[in-house]
Chain A
Amino acid sequence: MKPETVLLPGSDIVDMLPLGVFLLDESGLVCGWNTWLADKTGIVRQEALGKTLQQLYPGFDKPRFTWALQEVFANGSPQILSQALNQYLIPIKIKVMGYHGISLMQQKVQISLFVAANEARLALISIVDVTENVIRSQALSDAARSLKESNNRDALTGLYNRRFMNEWLDQRLKESRSIQHQIACLVLDIDHFKMINDTFGHQLGDQVLQDFSRLLSGRLRECDVFVRYGGEEFVVLLVKCSLAGGIARAQELIKAVRSTSIGTLPAGGVTCSAGVAVYDPKMPCSSEMLLSQADAQLYQAKRNGRDCVFPSRHLGSAD
């Protein structure tokens, strides 16, 4: 049975509002549908009246909305359906090109109890289009994300910089304490880099730094963090990695550098040394201390003749 159409008080005004307004009776049938909704949905008032939202939009299933309606009818408690948590109530295609996959109008919805002149209890639903705000907010987030990303990168090599490493490492050490994972820290330094610069010029020096970064990046896991620490010094942070694992990885990296042509120099023309330390959550230390231990080990590798790792093996380890 078609429900009685309810004219809102001042329905001319309701038709002029820049927002959607519609009424549902307790059985979920539409009994009011303003001009804004007709314009935006392409469903004219006469077509909408007497139908449920499921009939107008096959597949319409919004448990939050269903509960909100129950609350409104049972207790008269108004309900807010935020865009942040619901995105939209009624699927309305937006005409402009979608942004970040947004192709449907983003809506902020409010539901209140409305008692009509004939004492019928109805849910008054208003819909505000907040699509522009959402798009603006996403654009702002993208800009901030991109700015943050560039602030965290070294301009020459594209690797992470110290600023990023300090934040990342502090955070991971905290996590590591709760999940009991070790983190291996490798400090690598290109051997005789000053001599390369002085002999072949800064342009080749830069090329060496770039090639070296690219070579090692390709040999690390996605979850590892590779940082240009400064000058020709680099840090590799290996999550869930023991000291033995860190030493083995450092040896692989050093071997790869030694056997590859870097810059315009032949294989063996560029070598590097590495110091390895490990963060063990059973014996926690600060990020500064971890780096300083790895740096001290690098110094030992340099003293041992360069192109090597210190320590060279982990006593007590099976591997």
Chain B
Amino acid sequence: MNLTLEQMDALSEIANIGASKAAKQLSLLLNDIVEMSVPRLTIGSRREALDLIAVAPQDDTAAVFQKASGLLNAEVALLFHSQESRELVQALVGADLPLEDVDMSAFEHEAMTEIGNIIVSACISTIADLLGGRVSLTIPVYVEGSFSDIWHQLEGGDRPQARYMLVMGTKLSAVQRNVNGSLVITFSLDDLNSLLQQIDEWLAKMSS
């Protein structure tokens, strides 16, 4: 899908504002300096999205899912490499045991759900604020599995629909660790066109 340069710039700006809002909240919560950036962004088909995410199908992946409705009707997922995210959470909560020693997964899942919840909320509410509408989100759900299984869910499970994807490659840095992730927003063509129209209107308002 071809976006105009202005549309891409606007999306990048929105993504970076959302990321810095999330980083601020995470810093307060974790009492540590948390930085978050969106170095890569693409919008397009499944193939284009997969090219940006560049994760092997069998890779262990952690995901926080939330469904958006209102100004934006979409499935939103924040994807992280499982091992990286677990190491980050263990560092944040001060766990000092190697991962294989204790199954602390419930503990870590809960923390990752909250971190994902903050990032997704911050990014989606930035979109809503800038475009002057309201977006409601459902309760976050944490899922862990192979990347191909997670991707299958993002595509609509056993009843896949033609979806377009906005992928923001995120980089979260905290406690001397870098965790690379992707915020993926999937929508139908109609919903995507509607978002782009809102962005065009916002750009027109900004330039007038």
A contact residues vs B (CB 8 Å cutoff): 63-64, 67, 71, 74-86, 108, 110, 112-113, 133, 137, 140-141, 144-145, 148
Q: Which residues of A contact B135 (CB under 8 A)?
A: 75, 77
13 A–B contact pairs at CB < 8 A?
Answer: A67-B28, A74-B129, A75-B124, A76-B134, A77-B66, A85-B114, A112-B139, A137-B104, A137-B106, A140-B102, A145-B97, A145-B101, A148-B97
Q: Which residues of A contact B7 (CB under 8 A)?
A: none
User: What is the number of contacts between chain A and chain B, taking CB atoms within 8 Å?
Assistant: 87
CB distance from A123 to the nearest CB of B (A): 14
Give bound CA distance, A157 to B70, whole Å: 68
Chain B interfacial residues counted at CB < 8 A? 35
Does B193 sit at the interface, judged by CB under 8 A? no
Q: Is the CB of A80 within 8 A of B102?
A: no
Give bound CA distance, A199 to B39, whole Å: 73
Give bound CA distance, A178 to B93, whole Å: 25
Q: Which residues of B contact A108 (CB under 8 A)?
A: 110
Does B137 sit at the interface, judged by CB under 8 A? yes
Q: Is the CB of B121 within 8 A of A85?
A: no
Q: Is the CB of B111 within 8 A of A77?
A: no
Known: A84-B107, A85-B29, A144-B97. Is A76-B137 also a contact (CB below 8 A)?
yes
Q: Is the CB of B111 within 8 A of A82?
A: yes
Q: Which residues of A contact B134 (CB under 8 A)?
A: 75-76
Chain A, residue nearest B66 (CB): A77
Q: Is the CB of B137 within 8 A of A133?
A: no
Does B16 sit at the interface, judged by CB under 8 A? no
Q: Which residues of B contact A83 (CB under 8 A)?
A: 107, 110
Q: Which residues of A contact B113 (CB under 8 A)?
A: 80, 82
Give per-residue flags for B112-134: 1 if the beta carbon is below 8 A from chain A beta carbons, else 0: 01110100010011001100001
